[in-house]
Amino acid sequence: MKFKGNDELPSLELNEDEGTIKIWGRSTGIEAKADFWGPLLDKLDIYLNDPRDIVVSIEMEYFATSSAKEMLEMFSLLARKVIVNNKRKVLVKWISDDEDMEEAGEDYQSMVSKLTWKHIKL
């Protein structure tokens, strides 16, 4: 699954064979929920039935509050389906180049601590 982002929606690469998910760019406005996060969460819900470890790389420049809620839902889904049901490991690589995004990653880590987090500062 691939999605080329723009000024309002992030880019996505989900490689089912490798167990990798990469999300980068910007996520602004309510359109992001319908056009990006909704389809991604639907796809993940099905994909997470595969019993493999997963690496999620997140490198966001900016995301709006509505997108922050959807991202939290994604992390919660990963924790719920992958770790609890299938005993798999999920590594989240939170990549940031500014203090606000770094803090956002730390906030997510505190809210979804069942995932393994690696913070990478550029």
Please name the residue that has the structure tokens 């994909």: 47
Encoded tokens for 69 = 């809620």
Whether residue 17 is predicted with pLDDT greater than 80 in this model: the reply is yes
Superfamily for the 2-121 domain: STAS domain (3.30.750.24)
Q: Tell how many helices (H) and how many strands (E) occur in the chain.
A: 5, 6
Q: Do 24 and 60 form a contact (C-beta atoms < 8 A)?
A: yes
Kind and range of the H or E run holding 70? helix 65-77
Whether residue 10 is predicted with pLDDT greater than 80 in this model: the reply is yes
Global pTM exceeds 0.95: no
Identify the three-state secondary structure at position 62.
Answer: strand
Render pLDDT for 44-100 as a digit per residue (tens, 0 to 9).
Answer: 988 888 878 999 999 999 999 889 999 999 999 999 887 777 778 899 999 999 999
Q: Do 10 and 60 form a contact (C-beta atoms < 8 A)?
A: yes
CA dist 64 and 86 (Å) reads 32
Residue ranges of domains in the chain:
2-121
Whether residue 43 is predicted with pLDDT greater than 80 in this model: the reply is yes
